[in-house]
Structures are given as C-alpha cells and as structure tokens.
Amino acid sequence: MLEPVTKFRTNKITLDDLKITGQRVLVRVDFNVPLDDEGRVREFTRIKTALPTIHNILDYDGKAILMSHFGRPDGKHVPRFSLKPVAVELQRLLGKDVKFAQDCIGPEIEAMTRSLKPGEVLLLENVRFHPGEAIDDPAYAAELAKMGDVFVNDAFGAAHRKQASVHAIASCFPGSAAAGRLMMRELRTLGRTLNDPIKPFIGIVGGVKISSKIKTVERVLPRVKKMLIGGGMAYTFIKARGGNIGDSTFEPDKLSIAEKILSGPGAEKIILPIDSIAAKDLAYGSERKTFPSGQIPDGWRGLDLGRKARSQYRKEIKKVKTVFWNGPMGYFEREPYASGTRAVARAMVDLAINGGVSVVGGGDSMAALYKFEFAAPMTHISTGGGSLLEFIEGKPLPGFRALSDRVNDISNGKHTGVKKS
C-alpha cells in the first residue's frame, strides 16, 4: 500500500472557525504577480484566487488587512517592488475601494488598520521591504501581528517558506491563526488527486531541468498508469538511454539519476517523446526540422514535441480519468515551439469538459494555460511553485504547519469559536 504523498495535519482551524465580525483580519496572501513594461499587472490569477477569502471576511463585516511579498527587494524599500499596482487591480476585481498603506508596520499603519470600518479592505506594502521577513524574525513578525486581531494564511504559494509573515507570525495569534479558503482548497485538491485519484490516472512532467523534478517523478511514478515526460528534462532521459540529442539541453551530472529511474521500478510506465522539433538556434526565422528524439544531429537543439509525440500524448490523456501536469513540453514562450504544450493543454481541457479531472501545477504551466486561453475549464490550477513541489515530495509546509490546531486549541480553551454563531 502506498504511503500518502504528504502527511499534512487536517485539524488546523480554518476561516470558518474564526469570529470575524468587527475584527481586523490580517490575511497573508500571495500577490507576487507579474507586471508589464508599464508597471501594470498582466496576470491576475493569484489576485483572483484570494477573492473567496476576502469576500467571506467582508460578508461577515470583518475588516480585511492584506499583506504579501512582491519580488526580491532584499530587505530594502525598492519602488519598483511596491504593491501599489496590485491595489489598483484588486480594487477593480473586488468592485469596491481598496486602501493602500505606504508600509506594513509602524504606529501610523497600525492606526490605519484600527480606523477601518467593517467591510473595508486595506493592502499593506511589501513585507519584504524589511530584512526581518527573510530571516523569519520573531520581532518583525510581532510588529506585523499588531495589524490584526486574528490571522489567516491564504498564501499557499509561500507556505513552503520559513519567513516572518508566513511562519513566525502564527505564534503571535495563539488559537486564532487559521487557514484561508485557497490554502485549504489547494491542500485538499492536491492531496485527493495524488493520493486517491479517479483512475486511470497519469502524470505529465516537463520543464527544463530534471534536477528540480526528480522527487516529483519518484513520488508520482508509483501512483500513475503512465508518466509522460517532455520539455528540456526529457533530453537528459533520452541521453541516459543512449540516444543522440545533438545540442539539446541536458544535465550531465543527472544522467546517473535518470539511468537509475529508467532501470528502476515503474520504468515501463515512462513515455518519452518519439520525435522533437529542433532548431540550430532560438532566433526568429531559424530553420526548424523534426527528428526522432534519440537521433538529433549535432548542431541541432530539441525545443518541442514533434507531431508523433503530440499525437501520442493526446491519445494517452484521452484514455484516463485524471491527469496531473507539472511543467511545459517545450519552449512555449516562442510560438514555433508552443505546439507540444498547447496539445497537452488542449487534451486536458477536453478531459475536464467531459467529466475528467485535470489538475495543473507550476508557474510555467499556469502561464502557458493563460497564454493559450485554456485555463477556465481546468479542474484545478495550483498557485504553488516551490510549495507544490515540496508538498509532492512529502515535506511539511512551515506556513501551514504553524497554524493553530483545532483539537489542542479547543482543549486549552483558546478556540475562538465559529464565526456564524
């Protein structure tokens, strides 16, 4: 019998366990979103996925105080990493006024939180503008904690980090540090998909490097009927099998690991691309040719699934009820090499529309879905990158583990009660 992919504690209190009417609800969200060249938000998924928690707080006349990281300002106030553009888009998506604080700690900011009326929203400035965030400083966490009466962690994408606004802050709210709507949806959906899927179940793993996906392959492989591998990491496996990959990306120091996986239990489940679209360089207009994936000539670089591989992967997806996909099939950012990723995404859309389960994880996969406009039908698109991989690898997520325990808190008389009571 397989051990669960990960053993996270399910007795943490959630938003439903908090009395929030009239309270300042300090919510850790993940608003680390991409901006365009003009400094405007160009992809809204992480803002939209936070809306259920925010709406729930407002529906019960709570005061929503939101905090997030953004970029890597390295503990300094860097204007280009301000969350102000996010406040503009959040206001548009919420359909109501969103106040913005010029900092995330300090007496003036605390006064702003205390002046909020029930049903109002305040977004704090980037928590990484202070060095205490990165080092999980309890003193900095205590300053952040002054901004709320109760705490909700809804930042699944940051739950793998031991940082002040994610981890240390939970201890400042004994009995009232809860998981938000998105956090619980991610954990429950991913846990169900990987531990108790509707079968047949296959996995699809891609991306550039095998090094970042080794544990994913090892943990998911025993659970699936087939595992389809694409992207740059496929060429490390192909070379490990003795194929000629030309100038394709591969990791020489990971060949032994690939060989071990290909000769170990479940190796017969692994499907590698039959053929590849290759080019001599990435310049626009460069000549492209299709070669068998193990017969790519020197000077040519495999960049996408070939026609036969695309057909094979689509057929495999059509046979099953559940698919978990993490990582693109090629260099999808350039249209000549987007066909493989698009084919997989299209097949997963068809699966979801026909009642199957299509679960997608990873920033690049998510970006591809939105590029192709295939996101809406998917069963679930995870907002986690590192947190998703660590969840799959069975590692504890510090940001979730630190939250208040329902059983212990009730027995100690610290439980805050159910908000609807």
CB 67 within 8 A of CB 82: no
List the beta bridge partners of residue 153: 28, 179
151: tokens are: 């705490």
Torsion angle of the four alpha carbons 128, 130, 133, 134, in this order, in degrees rounded to the nearest 10: 80
CB 240 within 8 A of CB 216: no
Using H for helix, E for strand and C for coil, what is the string for 364-421? HHHHHHHHHCCCCCCCEECCCCHHHHHHHCCCCCHHHHCCCEHHHHHHCCCCCCCCCC
Cα dist from 68 to 44, 46, 161, 222, 287, whole Å:
15, 11, 13, 37, 45
Q: Residue 14, Cα to own-chain centre: how many angstroms?
A: 20
State how beta strands 301-305 and 275-279 pair: antiparallel
Q: Does 413 qualify as catalytic in the annotation?
A: no
205: tokens are: 């793993």
CB 217 within 8 A of CB 261: yes
Q: Does 46 qualify as catalytic in the annotation?
A: yes
CB 8 within 8 A of CB 397: yes
User: Of residues 180, 232, 363, 385, which has the active-site annotation?
Assistant: 363
Q: Distance (Å, rounded) from C-alpha 296 to C-alpha 301?
A: 7
Residue with tokens 């503009």: 88
CB 225 within 8 A of CB 199: yes
Q: Does 117 qualify as catalytic in the annotation?
A: no
User: Of residues 19, 48, 192, 209, which has the active-site annotation?
Assistant: 209
Q: Which alpha helices (DSSP H) does 33-162 contain, by range?
A: 45-48, 51-59, 84-94, 107-115, 138-145
By the 10 Å C-beta count (0-12 exposed, 13-18 middle, 19+ buried), 1 is classed as exposed
31: tokens are: 């608003």
User: Of residues 119, 191, 266, 386, which has the active-site annotation?
Assistant: 386
292: tokens are: 């068998």
User: Of residues 24, 46, 161, 239, which has the active-site annotation?
Assistant: 46
Closest CA to 83 of 74, 95, 73: 73
Q: Among all residues, which ones are annotated catalytic?
A: 46, 209, 363, 386
